[in-house]
Chains A and B, each alone.
Chain A
Amino acid sequence: DTAVSQTPKYLVTQMGNDKSIKCEQNLGHDTMYWYKQDSKKFLKIMFSYNNKELIINETVPNRFSPKSPDKAHLNLHINSLELGDSAVYFCASSQAGVNQPQHFGDGTRLSIL
Chain B
Amino acid sequence: EDQVTQSPEALRLQEGESSSLNCSYTVSGLRGLFWYRQDPGKGPEFLFTLYSAGEEKEKERLKATLTKKESFLHITAPKPEDSATYLCAVHSDTGRRALTFGSGTRLQVQP
Q: Which A residues are closer than 8 A to B by beta carbons? A: 4, 31, 33, 40-45, 48, 50, 55-56, 58, 90, 92, 94, 98-99, 101-107
Contact between A55 and B97, CB atoms less than 8 A apart? yes
| Contacts A33-B98, A48-B96, A90-B44 known; 9 new A-B pairs at CB < 8 A | A43-B99, A45-B98, A90-B43, A98-B91, A98-B97, A99-B31, A99-B51, A102-B46, A104-B43
List residues of chain B with CB within 8 A of the CB of A106.
41-43
Top 5 A-B residue pairs of the complex, sorted by shortest distance between their CB atoms:
A104-B43, A45-B98, A99-B32, A43-B101, A101-B46
List 12 A-B pairs, Cβ < 8 Å. Answer: A4-B43, A41-B85, A43-B89, A45-B98, A45-B99, A56-B96, A99-B51, A102-B34, A102-B46, A106-B41, A106-B42, A106-B43
Contact between A56 and B98, CB atoms less than 8 A apart? yes
A94-B97, A102-B99, A107-B42 given as contacts; is B49 within 8 A of A41 (CB)?
A: no
Among B34, B41, B43, the one with the most A-chain Cβ atoms within 10 Å of its Cβ is: B43
Cβ of B55 under 8 Å from chain A: no
List residues of chain A with CB within 8 A of the CB of B34.
101-102
Complex CA–CA separation, A72 to B45 (angstroms): 19
Total residues of chain B contacting the partner, CB 8 A: 25
List residues of chain A with CB within 8 A of the CB of B31.
98-99
Q: Which B residues are closer than 8 A to A by beta carbons? A: 31-32, 34, 36, 41-46, 49, 51, 85, 87, 89, 91, 96-104
Contact between A43 and B44, CB atoms less than 8 A apart? yes
Complex CA–CA separation, A43 to B100 (angstroms): 8
Contact between B85 and A56, CB atoms less than 8 A apart? no
B25 to chain A, nearest CB (A): 14
Give which listed residue, B32, B45, B97, contacts A48 with CB less than 8 A.
B97
A111 to chain B, nearest CB (A): 14
Give which listed residue, B45, B51, B103, contacts A42 with CB less than 8 A.
B103
Complex CA–CA separation, A53 to B74 (angstroms): 39
